[in-house]
Amino acid sequence: MSNSTEEAASGGVVDRQPRHVAIIMDGNGRWAAARGYPRGEGHRRGVEAVKRAVRAAIELGIPTLTIFSFSSENWSRPRSEIDDLMGLMKRFIRRDLAELNAQSVRIRVIGSTEKVDPELLGLIEEAKRTTTANTRLDLVIAFNYGSRAEIAATARRLAERVATGDMQVSDITVETFEGALDTAGIPDPDLLIRTSGELRLSNFLLWQCAYTELVFLDIYWPEFTHEHLEQAIRTYHRRHRRFGGLAGEEAS
Report domain extents, the chain.
18-146+188-241
What pLDDT is stored for residue 224 in this prediction?
Answer: 98
Assess whether 166 carries a catalytic annotation: no
What pLDDT is stored for residue 7 in this prediction?
Answer: 44
Backbone phi, psi, residue 159, to 5°: -65, -40
Phi-psi region of 147 (alpha: psi -120 to 50; beta: other; left: phi over 0): alpha
Residue 69 in contact with residue 143, Cβ under 8 Å?
yes
What pLDDT is stored for residue 248 in this prediction?
Answer: 54
| Catalytic residue (choose from 3, 26, 28, 188) | 26
| Catalytic residue (choose from 74, 101, 134, 203) | 74
CA distance 101 to 95: 11
Burial letters 156-177, b for 16+ CB under 10 A, else e:
eebeebeeeeeeeeeebeeeeb
What pLDDT is stored for residue 251 in this prediction?
Answer: 52
How many other C-beta atoms are found inside a 10 Å radius of the C-beta of residue 180? 16
Backbone phi, psi, residue 190, to 5°: -80, -35
Averaged pLDDT, groups of 10, the chain, 252 residues long: 41 72 98 97 97 98 97 93 94 95 98 95 97 98 98 98 97 97 97 97 98 98 98 95 64 50
CA distance 164 to 109: 29
Domain 18-146+188-241 fold: Undecaprenyl pyrophosphate synthetase (3.40.1180)
CA-CA distances (angstroms) from residue 220 to 44, 70, 106, 250? 13, 16, 27, 37
What pLDDT is stored for residue 16 in this prediction?
Answer: 82
